[in-house]
Amino acid sequence: MDERRRRFEALMLPHLDAAYNLARWLTRNVHDADDIVQDAYLRAYRSFDGFRGEDAKPWLLAIVRNCHRSARERARAMIAVPLAADDGTGPDRDEAAGWPASAVEDPEAQAMRTDAARALAGLLAALPETYREVLVLREFEELSYREIASIIDSPIGTVMSRLARARAMLREHWLAAHGDGT
């Protein structure tokens, strides 16, 4: 095994859990998450020469996010055949759909220890992607605003406003479903 490969593994493999967790929350699907992670690692490896020794985790997670986005674009192109004038600039599908009536079925959610946690996972999975991703990166990966901004390729101000909106939405829907819980 050559030096480049050794260095890549040493820097990137420790973030496999984070890559998978992000892919799962983005795709909301076990099989797609697997594919996205494999794809992301291969792409990361191919562009490893462009890695300038910055933080490995945000660098890798940005690639995971890109892989997810391009997979979704592809899926959309397949679906969009009969539609006229779909040039890929339409609104985000999640956002266009607003708040879906039910969260995507998630097998792991079955194993949730409490009903409350399961319900909350459902609500989180149903958040529009732009809000879901910042919340996942902040709450589960505990990344800083700056790191999240670099992953979603947006200013810090955008991270802050999306995070606030994401929490407000999650709380609102939680309270609607379960009362104020106090």
Partner 1 sequence: MACDREHLVHAYLDGELDTAAALEFERHLASCPTCSPLLAALRQLRAALAKDHFYRRPPAGLRGEVLRRLDREDVETARARRSEVGVWRRLGEALARRREWLAGAATGFVLASLAAALLFALMLPGRDERLAQSLIDAQLRSLRSDHLVDLASSDRHQIAPWMAAQADVAPPISDFADRGYALIGGRIDFVETRRVGVLVYRHGAHVINLFVWQFYDQAPTAAMARDGYRMQVWQAQNLVFCAVTDAPEPELDAFVSLVRGRLD
Binding of partner 1 at residue 8 (CB under 8 A)? yes
C-alpha torsion angle, residues 122, 126, 130, 136 (rounded to 10): 0
Burial 109-127 (b: 16+ CB within 10 A, else e): beeeeeeeebbbbbbbbbb
Minimum distance from CB of 157 to partner 1 (Å)?
10
Under 8 Å between Cβ of 28 and 125: yes
Under 8 Å between Cβ of 109 and 122: yes
Three-class DSSP category at 130: helix
User: Quick one: 103 or 140, whose CB is closer to partner 1?
Assistant: 140
Q: Which of residues 108-127 bind partner 1 (CB under 8 A)?
A: 108, 112-114, 116-117, 120-121, 124
Minimum distance from CB of 65 to partner 1 (Å)?
11
The one-letter amino acid at 15: H
User: Quick one: 49 or 96, whose CB is closer to partner 1?
Assistant: 49
C-alpha 159/C-alpha 152 separation (Å) is 8
Binding of partner 1 at residue 54 (CB under 8 A)? no
Under 8 Å between Cβ of 169 and 131: yes
Sign of dihedral through CA atoms 108, 100, 62, 134? negative
User: Quick one: 79 or 97, whose CB is closer to partner 1?
Assistant: 79
Contact string (CB under 8 A) for partner 1, positions 71-100, x = contact: --xx-xxx-xxxxx--xx------------
Q: How many binding residues for partner 1 (CB under 8 A)?
A: 66
Given the rule CB under 8 A, which residues bind partner 1?
1-2, 5, 8-9, 13, 16-17, 19-21, 24-25, 30, 33-34, 37-38, 41-47, 49-50, 63, 66, 69-70, 73-74, 76-78, 80-84, 87-88, 108, 112-114, 116-117, 120-121, 124, 138-140, 144-145, 160-161, 163-164, 167, 170-171, 174, 181
